[in-house]
Amino acid sequence: MTTLKTDLNLTDADGFYERLIEAHRGLDGPASRRLNAKLVLLLANHVGDAAVLDEALRIARGER
Amino acid sequence: MAGGLADRPRYAYAAPPELGQDSVRRAPIVIVGAGPVGLCAAAELAMLGHDTILLDEDDTVSVGSRAICWAKRTLEIFDRIGVGDRMVGKGVVWNRGRLFHRDREVYNFDLLPEPGHQRPAFINLQQYYVEEYLVDRVQELGRTDIRWRNRVVGLDVLPDGGARLTVETPDGNYRLDADYVLAADGVRSPIRRMMGLDFKGKVFEDRFLIADVIMKADFPSERWFWFEPPFHSGQSVLLHRQPDDVFRIDFQLDPSADPEEERKPENVVPRLQQMLGPDKPFDLEWVSVYTFTCRRMERFHHGPVFFVGDSAHVVSPFGARGGNGGIQDVDALCWRLAAVLNGTAPAALLDSYDAERIPAADENLLNSTRSTDFITPKNEASVAFREAALDLAADLPFARRVVNSGRLSLPHTYAATPLSTPDGDAWSGGPRPGAPAPDAPVQVAEGEPWLLRRLGGRFTLLRFVDDPAAAALGGVPDGVDVVTVARSGRPDGATVIDRDGTAFARWDAADGSAYLVRPDQHVAARWRTPEPGAIATALARALGRPAAAEARRAAGG
Ligand SMILES: Cc1cc2nc3c(=O)[nH]c(=O)nc-3n(C[C@H](O)[C@H](O)[C@H](O)COP(=O)(O)OP(=O)(O)OC[C@H]3O[C@@H](n4cnc5c(N)ncnc54)[C@H](O)[C@@H]3O)c2cc1C
């Protein structure tokens, strides 16, 4: 079973972060939240593995 | 209190001999600006055997709250010009950063997690001390004509490619010609303006209150950064310890803050009391309010003029990349100038200054822009992502690499420089061509027991062997020194011993490996076993003579 990666796995964390923030530029609150929601769905589909996604959900809810 | 800003030196003005002369003197190199960058250039050129004239409009060192963090690479350059020990002796050594969010510590990090380096990741030392020690060293080296209260007010490029400066002094103006001018005249660079050159980039709206506070306090020698601390609501704060019980505290303010009001003691003192407690005694050494910018010139080399340091590029201070980056500019430039003036390299070598230092400036600009953006989030999404990263960073290592309170200055690797010879052999580590040489502890017959102390100032072939009795290497061209690193045996002048294998490991070396190292301690080429002729070819390339190198290779030399 795979587990959620929590060590650094992004190849260029600062570059990704910059592009992430840039993607939100000029969006109002609802538009920005919708962008985030789409991102989550896209990345969740890419991950696929239910156990990994459940672990991410737990951590994101602060249930560690 | 002895030392400090109150006791900074004043240097005597002397009327220059050229005043009132009709004929114009020509100097090979004139440096404009005696900040850390111009002074470092004078010292490096003196070490390389070159006389210079250094002009500065003022007669003292830097005033106010400016650079404090000097990176390992800068200290290594300071070692080469003979001021490293004095700087490190006075400075506060630190390797650790600690990050707080609201009222808790989120994580801490070691910037130099491995032992076996002579110099620490950073020292903190007020810019006025750095400049004073550099002035002393430049004077001691005796090759620089430092002219205080000499302000450059005009620059013309001469038909023969040199430059004519008009210099203003308390006794009137004079003219001075130069083959080369180093414009180390700071962020407002009058020379840049005289030449009508652009300085483009990004201006950040947020204001920062920077206070240098004198107090007895037991904060450790670490970099402490707070996001939204309880004592400074909603903003960030950065704390550093400096020598003489001086602490640097940066408070982020709103873009709307009034700089004049904010720097008044009656407004600064309550902020500090909220942070330090109401009963903590302290004095203010200096307070200023800054806004930060990230800009650079399109090119740094314009005919006879080379822009170095803040005149060429300016960054926000998160990451300490301003002064440290500028010192690397002159480190890259000075050996080139010396080689061209000595006739060992064609003038074309100078063109590669831009090829190396523009990408280096861009790396510094990119990092300091990203840090400043993280520290000053601009919309709901950037606040939310920052909050999320800080929440996760307490437990999850990946999130620590997302949190950005400053990516601290590291030397640039000249990945695309035309001076490097691309690897032809297989390597699994070690400094690749263009990278700065890594240090390692070594046993020596005499002097400091560190590998970096054996490199720099000239081209060096660094050869790794198991047995120090190995036959001498053939094909080492004139002008290249050989330093041998052996696994065992006795050290002598040109041989150092790597008892514990650290140097071999850091350089990914095996018996017979060799590196050609430039005068600025960056790698030019490397081989598992250098072929005859390969070293001369790589040297020619590193001196800006690729055509000659090609011809020699074609001739089978
Ligand atoms: C708040 C703050 C914190 C910082 N912290 C750090 C840090 O921790 N680490 C770091 O590395 N950097 C830091 N920096 C940046 C650092 O201070 C600068 O990068 C550094 O001073 C640049 O040096 P310089 O020699 O290029 O220019 P300057 O130090 O600006 O020197 C320019 C010199 O040129 C002279 N001059 C100007 N015009 C003329 C003229 N017409 N004729 C003759 N002389 C002239 C001036 O008198 C001056 O001496 C910080 C900056 C600020 C503002």
Secondary structure in 3-state letters for B193-249: HHCCCCCEEEEEEEEEEEEEEECCCCCCCCEEEEECCCCCCCCEEEEEEECCCEEEE
What pLDDT does B557 receive? 46
Q: Does ligand 1 come within 6 angstroms of the Cβ of B163?
A: no
Interface mutation target, options B109, B391, B401, B408, chain A, most CBs of A under 10 Å:
B401
Domain count, chain A: 1
Give the end of a domain, one of B323, B353, B368: B368
One domain for residues B77 and B210: no
One domain for residues B147 and B30: yes
Q: Does ligand 1 come within 6 angstroms of the Cβ of B325?
A: no
One domain for residues B459 and B499: yes
What pLDDT does B551 receive? 60
Dihedrals φ, ψ of B495, to 5°? -125, 130
One domain for residues B181 and B302: yes
Torsion angle defined by CA atoms of residues B278, B284, B288 and B289, in that order, rounded to the nearest 10 degrees: 0
Chain B positions in Cβ-Cβ contact with residue A30 (cut-off 8 Å): none
Interface mutation target, options A4, A5, A11, A14, chain B, most CBs of B under 10 Å:
A14
B473 alpha carbon, distance to own chain's centre: 34
Cα(A3)–Cα(A52) distance, integer angstroms: 5
One domain for residues B465 and B345: no
- C-alpha B36 to ligand 1 mean position (Å): 7
Is residue B409 situated within a structural domain?
no
- C-alpha B60 to ligand 1 mean position (Å): 13
Q: Do A32 and B379 touch (CB under 8 A)?
A: yes
Is residue A15 situated within a structural domain?
no
Q: Outline where B30-151 has alpha helix (H).
A: 36-47, 72-81, 84-90, 127-141
Residue of minimum CA distance from atom 15 in ligand 1: B322
One domain for residues B123 and B219: no
Q: Which range marks the domain in which residue A36 is found?
A: 28-64
Task: Assign residue B168 the CATH number of its domain.
Answer: 3.50.50.60
Give the end of a domain, one of B335, B368, B401: B368
Is residue B254 situated within a structural domain?
yes
Q: Do B379 and A24 touch (CB under 8 A)?
A: yes
Distance from CA of B364 to the nearest CA of A (A): 13
Is residue B374 situated within a structural domain?
no
Selecting from B374, B380, B396 the residue whose C-beta is nearest the C-beta of A29 gives B380
Q: Do B402 and A17 touch (CB under 8 A)?
A: yes
What pLDDT does B5 receive? 77
One domain for residues B135 and B253: no
What pLDDT does A64 receive? 65
Interface mutation target, options A21, A25, A27, A32, chain B, most CBs of B under 10 Å:
A21
Torsion angle defined by CA atoms of residues B418, B419, B425 and B430, in that order, rounded to the nearest 10 degrees: -110
Average pLDDT over residues A44-58: 97
One domain for residues B301 and B285: no
What token pair was written down for B557?
């030399």
B252, B267, B305, B332, B405 from B239: Cα distances, Å: 12, 19, 38, 32, 12
Q: Do B367 and A64 touch (CB under 8 A)?
A: no
One domain for residues B224 and B182: no
Cα(B94)–Cα(B110) distance, integer angstroms: 9
One domain for residues B182 and B83: yes
Is residue B399 situated within a structural domain?
no
Chain A positions in Cβ-Cβ contact with residue B321 (cut-off 8 Å): none
Q: Does ligand 1 come within 6 angstroms of the Cβ of B310?
A: yes
What token pair was written down for A30?
């609802």
Q: Which range marks the domain in which residue B56 is found?
A: 5-92+113-197+297-368
What one-character DSSP code corresponds to residue B309? G
What pLDDT does B555 receive? 62
Selecting from A21, A35, A36 the residue whose C-beta is nearest the C-beta of B373 gives A21
Q: Do B397 and A7 touch (CB under 8 A)?
A: yes
Strand, coil or helix: what is B369? Answer: helix
What pLDDT does B552 receive? 56
Residue in chain A closest to B373 (alpha carbons) equals A18
Is residue B302 situated within a structural domain?
yes
Query: What does the pLDDT profile of chain B (557 residues) look like in tens digits?
Result: 446 777 889 999 999 999 999 999 999 999 999 999 999 999 999 999 999 999 999 999 998 899 999 999 999 999 999 999 999 999 999 999 999 999 999 999 999 989 999 999 999 999 999 999 999 999 999 999 999 999 999 999 999 999 999 999 999 999 999 999 999 999 999 999 999 999 999 999 989 999 999 999 989 999 999 999 999 988 999 999 999 999 999 999 988 999 999 999 999 999 999 999 999 999 999 999 999 999 999 999 999 999 999 999 999 999 999 999 999 999 999 999 999 999 999 999 999 999 999 999 999 999 999 999 999 998 899 999 999 999 999 999 999 999 999 999 999 999 999 999 999 999 999 999 999 999 999 999 999 999 999 999 999 999 999 988 877 888 899 999 999 999 999 999 899 999 999 999 999 999 999 999 999 999 999 999 998 899 999 999 999 996 655 565 556 54
B28, B157, B248, B331 from B50: Cα distances, Å: 9, 22, 37, 14
One domain for residues B132 and B20: yes
Largest CA distance in chain B: 80
Q: Does ligand 1 come within 6 angstroms of the Cβ of B330?
A: no
What pLDDT does B6 receive? 78
What pLDDT does B378 receive? 87
Is residue B382 situated within a structural domain?
no
B448 alpha carbon, distance to own chain's centre: 22
pLDDT grade for A48, boundaries at 50, 70 and 90: very high
Give yes or no for a contact between B37 and B330, defined as CB atoms under 8 angstroms apart.
yes
Dihedrals φ, ψ of B549, to 5°? -65, -45
Q: Does ligand 1 come within 6 angstroms of the Cβ of B322?
A: yes
Cα(B411)–Cα(B325) distance, integer angstroms: 8
Give the end of a domain, one of B244, B268, B293: B293
What token pair was written down for B38?
């111009």
Distance from CA of A56 to the nearest CA of B (A): 11
Give yes or no for a contact between B272 and B215, defined as CB atoms under 8 angstroms apart.
no
Q: Which atom of ligand 1 is nearest to the CA of B326?
A: 26
Amino acid sitting at position B169: T
Cα(B347)–Cα(B493) distance, integer angstroms: 34
Q: Does ligand 1 come within 6 angstroms of the Cβ of B194?
A: no
Q: Which atom of ligand 1 is nearest to the CA of B311?
A: 26
Residue of minimum CA distance from atom 35 in ligand 1: B33
What pLDDT does B1 receive? 42
pTM: predicted TM-score of the whole model, two decimal places: 0.96
Is residue B339 situated within a structural domain?
yes
Q: Does ligand 1 come within 6 angstroms of the Cβ of B431?
A: no
One domain for residues B58 and B138: yes
Is residue A11 situated within a structural domain?
no
* Strand partners of residue B313: B296
Domain count, chain B: 3
Whether the ipTM is more than 0.90: the answer is: yes
Is residue A39 situated within a structural domain?
yes
Is residue A22 situated within a structural domain?
no
A 3-62 residues inside an 8 A Cβ radius of B: 5-10, 13-14, 17-18, 20-21, 24-25, 27, 29, 32, 35-36, 59, 62
Q: Outline where B346-479 has alpha helix (H).
A: 352-375, 380-393, 397-400
Angle at CA of residue B127, ends B124 and B128, nearest 5°: 125
Cα(B259)–Cα(B263) distance, integer angstroms: 6
Is residue B411 situated within a structural domain?
no
* Strand partners of residue B201: B295
Selecting from A6, A24, A62 the residue whose C-beta is nearest the C-beta of B398 gives A6
